[in-house]
Amino acid sequence: MSDSTAGNAYDGLAEHHAVVGDDAHWAFGSEVEDPLAGVDTTVPDDVDPRVLATYCLMLGDDALVAAHRLSEWCSRAPDLEDDIALANTALDLLGQARLLLARAAAADPSVVPALPAGSPVPPEDALAFFRDAGLFRNVRLVELANGDFAHTVVRLLLHASVRLALLDRLRGSRDPVLAAIAGKGVKEVSYHRDYAGRWFLTLARGTDESRRRLLDALTALWPLRQELLEAHPVEVAAAEAGVGVDPRLVAAEIDVVLDQVLAVSGVDRPEVAPMVAAGGRAGRDGLHTEALSRMLAEMQVVARAHPEGRW
Amino acid sequence: MVSTVVTRAARTPLEVAAEVRDPEMPMLTLHDLGVLRGVDQHGDEVVVTITPTYSGCPAMAAMRDDLVRSLAEEGYAATVRVALSPAWSSDWITERGRAALHEHGLSAPGPAPRRDGPVPLTLLGVRRALGCPRCGSARTALTSEHGPTACTALYRCEACGEPFEHVKEI
């Protein structure tokens, strides 16, 4: 580094390329080519790779879509501290998404969209940028437009409380890769849930206006919570194979946490019916609201326009 | 006959890798931060294993490149691998690392939380009794649990008025 400062600012780049090699990166991904480099991704015996891959897509897509929505707050949050907090939360979830999508691709390469031969796009990025909405497996809760800050807080609380309970159990997954990803994620999502819980309390006990907005958000989002707690056939199969967790098993534990937040906030549990599945299909089946298509259009447009882009 | 050629004592790959610094907290070596998990030499090839602090750690590529470059300068061809498990803990920051943080105005983490059963909800915020790394005062207040990097929280000293970062316990 010290040598390069004697020349111009670009010498460092030249030196980097000379020493590190493989200097052409796909223009839209991270520089680390394989987030699972060196990790043994062999699927455990008697586990259906398709089930494991689809299960990882569900957890990964929840994180990816939630991360993108949270990142939309960047430069728009109520104050600088929350701007940074939401961006950090988005970054954690994006990191989890990347690992989970990479794990899905390694378990069953057939889930990865086909790209032209010689494409520089790594599998997890192909999954993120080259699938249409109908192939995303996230719950609908995470895809809705952000709404106001109260909506973001309520959504993060509902999502993080379920995700934390699932990840905590997944540390014991028979798939060592998923177990390792969960082990890291637990520490991160604990922070997310605490952050959302504190803001929930603050808004509920704040002004009439903040409380009104919080209650509006809770009523609007509560019907979407059920989808996180229902067991999709893939989740059931993954649980039976010992690699996944049946969300029904953690429902009681999550209720304890939510009731604690509601009680200290002086807010009643909403009595609104869950949002129905359409023809028996919901987010986990690829049936989404219009909001996801719009979000993906923005998220994917540049990558799709330049699938061969390198720098 | 004794060779009269004087050669510089070659540094081992471990010695080289252990001195590479964290790109976001350059007062710490990767060893002191606890992200350097192993350095193995197989013939001419060196395999370095690192672990991310957080899942979305954006510094992994910079760490990898710095390791490859530093080892190349000493004549070693290195490959860098990622170990996800066991998950990084702030307990892995060495004593020397903690001293370096303090010397550079950052507050070192306390013991990482331990638990049995479900992760407890902390609605009142994390309570830490921190001394200001600049003036030593115990009158410090949390500004935000989320600081400028994923692994730090932001505090302010009410005695000297200076803000400082605290490396979070995870």
The DSSP-derived string for A185-206 is: HHHHHHHHHHHHHHHHHHHHTS
Mean of the pLDDT values across residues A148-160? Answer: 98
| Residue B114 burial (C-beta neighbours within 10 Å; 0-12, 13-18, 19+) | exposed
Which residue carries 């059963």 as its tokens?
B117
Report the C-alpha gap between A15 and B84 in whole angstroms.
Answer: 30
Compute the mean pLDDT over every residue in chain A, rounded to the nearest whole number: 90
Q: Is the pLDDT of residue A273 over 90?
A: no
Task: Identify the pLDDT of residue B7.
Answer: 52
Do the Cβ atoms of A47 and A241 come closer than 8 Å?
yes
Mean of the pLDDT values across residues B123-144? Answer: 90
CATH numbers and ranges of domains, chain B: 13-82 (3.30.300.130), 105-111+129-167 (no CATH)
A16-20, A68-72, A107-111, B66-70: which has the minimum mean pLDDT? A16-20
- A104 — pLDDT class (breaks 50, 70, 90): very high
Residue type, A311: W
Contacts of B170 in chain A (CB under 8 A): 187
DSSP state of A111: G
Q: Is the pLDDT of residue A184 over 70?
A: yes
Q: What contacts B132, CB < 8 A, 6 or more positions away?
A: B107, B138, B139, B140, B157, B159, B160, B162, B164
CATH domain A40-305 topology: Ferritin (1.20.1260)
A38-42, A278-282, B1-5, B106-110: which has the minimum mean pLDDT? B1-5
Distances (CA, A) of A83 to A72, A75, A78, A146, B142: 10, 6, 7, 14, 16
- A177 — pLDDT class (breaks 50, 70, 90): very high
Compute the mean pLDDT over every residue in chain B, rounded to the nearest whole number: 89
Distances (CA, A) of A302 to A69, A128, A282, A306, A307: 18, 13, 28, 6, 8
Helix (H, G, I), strand (E, B) or coil at B63: helix
Q: With a CB-CB cutoff of 8 Å, which residues 103-122 of chain B face chain A?
A: 118-119, 121-122
- A308 — pLDDT class (breaks 50, 70, 90): confident
Does the structure's ipTM exceed the value 0.85? Answer: yes
Number of residues written out for chain A: 311
Contact A30 B56 (CB under 8 A): no
Nearest by CB to residue A257, choosing from B55, B84, B121, is B121
Contacts of B38 in chain A (CB under 8 A): none
Q: Is A259 on the interface with B (CB under 8 A)?
A: no
Mean of the pLDDT values across residues A99-107? Answer: 96
Q: Is the pLDDT of residue A260 over 50?
A: yes
- A106 — pLDDT class (breaks 50, 70, 90): very high
Report the C-alpha gap between A154 and A169 in whole angstroms.
Answer: 23
Contacts of A30 in chain B (CB under 8 A): 58, 60-61
Contacts of A92 in chain B (CB under 8 A): 54-56, 150
Q: What is the pTM of this model?
A: 0.90
Mean of the pLDDT values across residues B41-65? Answer: 88
Q: With a CB-CB cutoff of 8 Å, which residues 191-210 of chain A face chain B?
A: 191, 193-195, 197-198, 201
Task: Identify the pLDDT of residue B1.
Answer: 47
